[in-house]
Structure 1
Amino acid sequence: MLFPASIVTYSQLEMTVKTTVRPDKHQVTYEKPGHLANGTGNSHLQSLNFIHCMKMPCERTNWRVVYLMGVFSLIQNTQYSIYLTSMFSYLKKLDSTATESQFGWIMATSSLGHCIGCFILGWWNSRASRSAPPMHCGFLLMLASNLVYLLVDSVPPSWVAHVMMLSRLLGGFGMGNSSPMRTCASLHSTATDRSKAMASISGGRSVGTVVGPGLQLMFLPLGELGITIFPGILSLHSNNAPAFLGIVLTMVGFVSLIVLFEEECAEESDKKAIADFENQYNTVKEEYPSSDVIAMLICMLTRFVQNFMQISIETLAPAILMMMYFQTRQEAVASMATTYLTTGFIATVLYLLIIFTKLSAIVRDKIFNSLVLLLFVCHLLATYSWQFYTSHVLDRGFSNETLTGCDETHFTWCSNLTISPEWIFYIGYILSFGLFMPFINVANATLYSKLLNPDNQGTQQSLYDISNTTARIFAPIFITLIYSAYGPRRAWESLCLLLLFTTFLWIIFDKRLVPLKPIQKQMFDNDGFEQEKSPKTKLVS
């Protein structure tokens, strides 16, 4: 029989147990009579009043922890992306024989390290049932990455690429922090506030990725020689200054994690006391069934596809601007830099609105995922080189000096390629990745966290992050192969098919894409107890 509010006195233990069960609360309070609370009796049963956070859903959102995870995400992605604008030129400066292929392997190693780091730190989070230890390890790995990068100009030229690769590999391992961060934000937020919690993580990642490369402008006044710190050993210049800033940011995050982070979880002795009581008296239990693997895979595929599309377009954008719109390399870089900044600004404002206003209330997990995927398809259709366009890429000849135009000696598909309006290319990118992308990031991450058992999500969250990192590895390779062999039309068509297939899965498996709900069991077995007919029912053994 279930008693909504009951007091049970067990004379052998001389303790009072008050169990309150309400639809919106999951809290068990153990109280002791006054003479026991003053120091006598079993120490395991004193003052056990806490939210059993590793076993039951969070009762209230701990905004301090959620916002702290957002700041950590910002720090992590800023120090990780700050190298991107200067790394290749730094590699060429130190080793004139270095090739684009070597640089590609350096970046691939970084993404591979990220995949491995996500899984290991996420698994550690699940096994330890705590987020702090793996996050400490992640920050230390990022610190090691920055320290190794400082040594690049102190090694022989033939070692430069390998030392850079080691630095980026360690940085990738450290980026695995994204899994325990996402898990921690999920465990410390209610289902109602989950979208805001996920927005804080996604917003920190988005802002850090945009701000990081732009911070390189701060270091340009240092020049190539810079300031000597240790003569003949170490100097601060425009190429290694990102590593110094990365060290500062990482230390800020590491110290903040120690000083400011307070993880809400039950002590082992408290868990054992509750478990013993529940086993003895058959108190109410909430057991979660296994997560729906199909639903999880669809969310992970969506994460992969949305990032695959964005990275593919970012990879091809400079080539398309030079080939289709006859921009020089400098003009193409300037155009895309402006587009990135505009996109990042819009996305940042949107994330802040989702976090701090009621905009999160309109984010519907399943609807927004399917809707944004279809809007991405509209973006690709709008920027497609349709046959009815009158302008042609061969209207202007290919320039060997500026590399503008379409080189029909290398690309057979130049002969029938038309030019879509340039302004649609920029507007489409800004709308898709500045306005639409934040919604699918929040909606998909929120639903994925609700598909999982709230006890431990570390390993499953790591798989979600790996799906994003995998797109970074394969998208540039896949899309450049298609572009080189068949042109931008086939590349766009491939992305459309991938998006439509993913949308189709959301429609087909709609009934399975629902939050995981616990199975409740009987709270009390009334055998052996005597029930009194009073407003506050007392059962005495």
Structure 2
Amino acid sequence: VFFRKVKMLAGKKKKVMNIENKEKADINKLSANEKIKIINKIIEGKRTDWYSIFMMFTIMLLSGIQLTIYSTSIWPYILLLDPSSHISSLGYALAFFSLGHVIGSPFFGGIATRFKSNKLAISIGLVINVIGNIIYASLQEFSKKYIIYFVCISRFLIGFGIGINGVLRSYCVTACIPDDRRKVVALFNASFVVGGIIGPSLQALFTYFDTTNKKFIIFNINMFTIPALFMVFLYIISIIYCSIKFEETFIGIEKASLSEDIRNNKKIKLFKINYTAVVICIIITFIHSFTSTIIDTLATPLSIAQYNWNDSEVILYNGLINTSSSVIAFVNYMLQAFTFVHNIDQRKLLIFGLSTRFTYPIFNYPWFFYQNKLDHIPVMENGTEYPTIEFGGCSNKYEWCDYVNRVPLIIYCITMTFYLAFGNPFTSAPNSSLYADILGLRRQGFMQGMYELFGSIARVIGSIIGSYLFSISGTIYVMILQGFLILFTIVLFNTMVKEKNSNFHLLKINIVPGFNGILEAKEYKKYEDKSDWKSIILVYLLIFLIGIQFSVFNITIFPYFTFLDPYAEFRTYIFVMICHILGQTVGTVFFGYINVRISNYNKIILMAIGYLIFGNILYLFLSIIPIFFVKFALSISRYLVGYGSGILGSLYAYCIGASSENDKKSVVYFSVTSYILGITTGHLFFSLFRTSMIQPKVYFCSLIITKESLPSLLMAFMYFVYLLIYLYSFNEKFFGIEYDKNMSLEKYFVSLFYVNNFKKAIILMYNWFLINLMFYTYESFPIFWTELNILFRKSWKILTFEIITGMIFMTAIFTTLLIGLPPLKKLKSYNLIIFGFSLLIIYNILNCSLPFYDITNIEPQSNTTFKNIYSFNGNQNIPFEVYVLSAIFCLGIGLSTIIGPTLFEFSKLLDKKRPSFMINMLQLIGCFSQLMSLVMILIIEHYNISYFYMIIFGILSFIALTINVFCYYGTLYKIKILLIRSIN
């Protein structure tokens, strides 16, 4: 009888158990209960380590307190520190918390998985939380004009530290046996809810100290700072206790070591994760977090505007609502853990929870039959509003205060209570439990971190969008958006079914929680046949930084140029942009050719990083250069940065060459995702600098560091850090056929340009040219257009454009990830290309000046620097809703379904030879398209023909769609045959 050895870890003791092969033979034909019995046999004798799990519950309790303790007080605290703060400041503060959570979740998950140590990740997170709370308690020590920056830093660090939540959940579900997993997940969520109960209650208790400062050591103690100091105290105790008492336990299946695999010529492999089920669970948590964040963000300003509560009242009353709701939610978690609810269909629990959440936007929409109108905040004799510390009401700066109806207080209280008390526990617990079951008996640190990551991304987007929608419409658009998303989530359950004779309620693809397939023994393949993911991820990181570089310069260069030279002309700005493209063009050819000649990525990457660092440092020092030479120095800086960015084609080529045939499609798609993610991150990080009314200037000798030049300093620093990581971590891998260096020069050059199918290569090059032309035109064209258009003149209007751009890129990122993972990975690349061009045609049609659109004539202000460029306002009569929806869905999905698949299809034409040169030639075409985009802008400006903008791209997209259909479906060939037959 053949036996397989499987390593089972329980605590620090390793046990080897034998499983007969006959159990494996028919494992997929067994019922769910029989599979569970097999797993129970495997883990026989193991017990849930409740002591260490309850320690995790305690730390999760602190995370719940940390999340809610500031929810009702942060906005009054910001107003106390800076009374001129806009509601968008609250959105930024909450967004940076979630941004920290976005980065922290996969970071700590990766640490826990990489080092197999949850204790290390948890300790680091707790220390970071201490630092963030100390900064929050010290905000009064900083200058008023910099308050919002330090608030964002504090919230970012706290969010980053709370990124350990995924590690905590991962530990809990892998330190228990499967029979206890639902109970553990319910209690885990209950711990968080108890923290949510305690947080607002503590803040309400600390209102006793009011806003009067009392000195304590070096801190000013008041109702806003004492909660932060209290959290510092609790975290320090947790760090000490965790370091002394916490011992890790893992109940699961570990892979055999590589040396043992080689020795036995076999590989022990865990069952494959069902990514369809994973994606559905992540979508549910994304929408759950998104809608919850909007409610948390707007609870305070909405209550002040609707019910005339001042700061103390809003903290007290909302604190009471949250406390009572959290008590009921805690009871509901206990019901799921210890009563018959434990065995109810998870699908039914989820639908119940989502349906309860749906009642909140329905009843809190300002319906016409709600008769009472909102009251304005009283105005002082000098015409300014009283601060909300004294009086509540709707601020006079909001136009919607005159037409939005007040929701009755009793409806608000009841629906808020039901939302928090029933909607949250019956959504988060079943979804988290199902997600953990799908991942099964494996280390889940990284995957749980990804689960937290998407929830955090939802919180980033939710806080910004929620604040913006509230500022322009009150509760109207906010409630519509929430209702639509919750309804969409309910519809998503059509993909979920219940398996007969099973207590587990599963997705369509037969997923028994964690046990589908159990273990598989496969023949060992040579290590060289696997994708070198370590080096590929390092390359992804550099692609990501280059994406940030591109968006950062596009955001800052125009205002920085006008700051350095107030007499600068528009054509000079275009010339500077052309220098960047020229540098990227030369760099692309240089790095592509050198890489083929020397077959060494290390040298060319080091050279590229050097150019990028030097170009950014020169950009920083432009303020000390005489004004006459500024445009020349700026052009040189842009040329150097563009030259270094020319490495992008070689980076794409490395990803292709270092990946196996099975992984190549995913690797290519993810490389494109890295670039788009970099662009999105650039917009997110620096839109705050661009839209803020604050003008930070730091003088160092004669050097002036402003909000426009600070990004270059940050980019130089990030490139330097990457350089250190690269030098110690990068090992080049290449799977393919090298060029013969001894062949004649003529044959060598011919071999460089060789492709399998020349006609298909030309079509793919045209695809690449067009998609880059549209991409760079959209990225560059609106940068100064929004400055000139009166609709985008105010800072919050500029933020509108940044939010739309961010949503477009987030849609593109999400789409690219979906098509790079199973099951959508199986889709044919050329079908995705055709689908993408179809969407682009729809986008261009919708954004033309169609006759049934209402025309609004908008003249530019007479005092604008470039008032003659009125022609850029060519789409002024396009309805805003049409522009936003078409841009997000058509551009976001269309671009992502063309760029990655085109690059993948092109790589297939190169066989297994080193793809550096031809991929760089493809990237060279992309550089040429950048140049053409600037030429188009100049022609449109000069001849006042902006209405051709969408028509031109619509025609080019239709041509691309046609030739791709002919190329991949043979239609052109069939037409030719028919013509020949008809002639004969």
The TM-score by the shorter chain falls in which range? 0.7 to 0.9
Tell me by how many angstroms 1:187 deviates.
0.7
**Residue 62 (structure 1) aligned with residue 49 (structure 2):** yes
Report Cα offsets for 1:481-528 as digits up to 9, x if no partner: 4455556444333322212222222212540383342435699xxxxx
Q: Which residue of 1 is the match for residue 746 of structure 2? A: none
1:259 aligns with 2:244: yes
Q: Is the 8 A contact 2:335 2:342 kept in 1?
A: no
Name the structure 2 match of 1:112.
99
- Is 1:511 paired with 2:516? no
Alpha carbons 1:74, 1:207 under 8 Å: kept = yes
Q: How far 1:157 sits from its partner (Å)?
A: 4.1
Counterpart AA for 1:142: N
Q: 1:239 to 1:494 in 2, by over 3 A?
A: closer
Q: Secondary structure at the match of 1:177?
A: helix
Matched, 1:208 2:187: no
Alignment of 1:167-206 (within 5 A): 167-206=154-193
Give 2:275's aligned residue: 293
Quote the offset at 1:104 in angstroms: 3.6
Give, in angstroms, the shift of residue 110 of structure 1.
1.8
Alignment of structure 1 residues 334-483 onto 2, 5 Å: 334-355=316-337, 357-359=338-340, 361-385=342-366, 389=369, 391-394=370-373, 400=378, 404=393, 410-411=399-400, 414=403, 422-483=409-470
* Amino acid paired to 1:72: I
* CA distance in structure 2 between the partners assigned to 1:512 and 1:199 by the alignment: 25
Moved more, 217-226 or 291-300: 217-226
Match in the other structure for 2:293: 311
Displacement of 1:217 after TM fit? 4.1
**Alpha-carbon distance between aligned partners in 1 of 2:393 and 2:81, rounded to the nearest angstrom:** 29
Q: Matches of 1:485 and 1:87 in 2, distance apart?
A: 21
In the TM superposition, residue 315 of structure 1 has moved relative to its aligned partner by: 4.0
| Separation (CA, whole Å) in 1 of partners of 2:72 and 2:304 | 19
Alpha-carbon separation, structure 2, partners of 1:290 and 1:271: 13
CA displacement 1:246-298 (0-9 Å, x = unmatched): 12111222122222322124999x9869984997598xx97433322222122
Matches within 5 A, 1:144-155: 144-155=131-142
Give the CA deviation at 1:120.
Answer: 0.5
Q: 1:419 to 1:137 in 2, by over 3 A?
A: closer
Gaps of 5+ in 1: 5-16, 28-50, 52-56, 524-541
CA contact (8 A) 2:354 2:490 kept: yes
Which residue of 243, 253, 256 corresponds with 2:228? 243
Residue 451 of structure 1 deviates from its aligned partner by: 1.6
Structure 1 residues 222 and 192: CA distance shift in structure 2, 3 A: same
Q: Aligned to 2:38, which of 9, 16, 23?
A: 23
Distance of 1:171 and 1:409 partners within structure 2: 31
SS in 1 for 2:179: coil
- Cα distance, 1:404–1:222 mapped onto 2, change above 3 Å: closer
Distance 1:107 1:495, change over 3 A: closer
Letter in 1 for 2:356: L
Match for residue 39 of structure 1? none
Q: Which 10-residue stretch deviates more, 257-266 or 197-206?
A: 257-266
* Residue 66 of structure 1, CA deviation: 2.1
Look up the equivalent residue of 2:515 and give its one-letter code: K
% of aligned pairs identical? 22
Number of the residue aligned with 1:500:
487
Task: Report the alpha carbon displacement of residue 430 of structure 1 after superposing the two structures with TM.
Answer: 1.2
Are 1:366 and 1:513, in contact at CA under 8 Å, matched by a contact in 2? no
Question: Deviations along 1:221-256, whole A, 9 cap, x unmatched?
Answer: 556332442xxx445554432232112111222122
What CA distance in whole angstroms lies between the structure 1 residues aligned with 2:396 and 2:495?
A: 44
Q: For residue 494 of structure 1, give the secondary structure of its aligned residue in structure 2.
A: helix
Query: Matched residue of 2:399: which SS?
Result: coil
| Amino acid across the alignment from 1:452 | L
CA gap 1:413/1:222 in 2 versus in 1, 3 angstroms:
closer
Offset of 1:343 from its aligned partner? Answer: 0.6
Letter in 2 for 1:201: F
Aligned equivalents of 1:382, 1:80: Cα separation in 2: 26
Alignment size in residue pairs: 473
Report the counterpart of residue 603 of structure 2 in structure 1: none
Letter aligned with residue 249 of structure 2: E
Maintained 8 Å contact 1:288/1:516:
no
The residue identity in structure 2 corresponding to 1:512 is I
| Partner Cα distance (1:237, 1:398) in 2 | 29
The CA RMSD over aligned residues, in Å, is: 4.0
Deviation (angstroms), 1:309: 2.3
Over alpha carbons, which structure has the higher Rg? 2
Change (3 A) 1:421 1:100: closer
Contact 2:91–2:297 (8 Å) recurs in 1 = no
Q: Which amino acid aligns with 2:371?
A: H
Q: Deviations over 1:334-363 (max 9, x none)?
A: 5433321211111123334444x2355234
**Are 1:24 and 1:59, in contact at CA under 8 Å, matched by a contact in 2?**
no
Judging changes above 3 Å, is the alpha-carbon distance between structure 1 residues 501 and 18 closer, same or farther for their aligned structure 2 residues?
closer
**Runs of 5+ unmatched residues, structure 2:** 5-15, 21-36, 380-390, 497-506, 522-984
Shift in Å, 1:94: 4.6
Shift of 1:181: 0.4
Shift of 1:196: 1.7
- TM-score, length-scaled by structure 1: 0.74
Change over 3 Å in CA distance of 1:83–1:354 after alignment to 2:
same
Amino acid at match of 2:319: A
- For residues 428-456 of structure 1, what are the alpha-carbon distances to aligned partners after superposition, in whole Å with 9 as ceiling and x for unaligned? 22122202321221100000111215322
**CA contact 2:73–2:224 (8 Å) conserved in 1:** yes
Structure 1 479/393 Cα, relative in aligned 2: closer, same or farther at 3 Å?
farther
Q: Which has the higher contact order (CA 8 A, sep 6+)?
A: 1
Cα distance in 2 for residues equivalent to 1:459 and 1:508: 26
Q: Distance in 2 between matches of 1:106 and 1:320?
A: 17
CA distance in 1, matches of 2:301, 2:80: 24
Aligned letter for 2:508? Answer: K
- Cα distance, 1:385 vs. partner? 4.9
Which residue number in structure 1 is paired with residue 214 of structure 2?
A: 226
The question of whether the paired residues in 2 share the 8 Å contact of 1:304 and 1:468 is answered with: yes
Given that 2:376 and 2:401 are in contact with CA atoms closer than 8 Å, whether structure 1 keeps it comes out as no
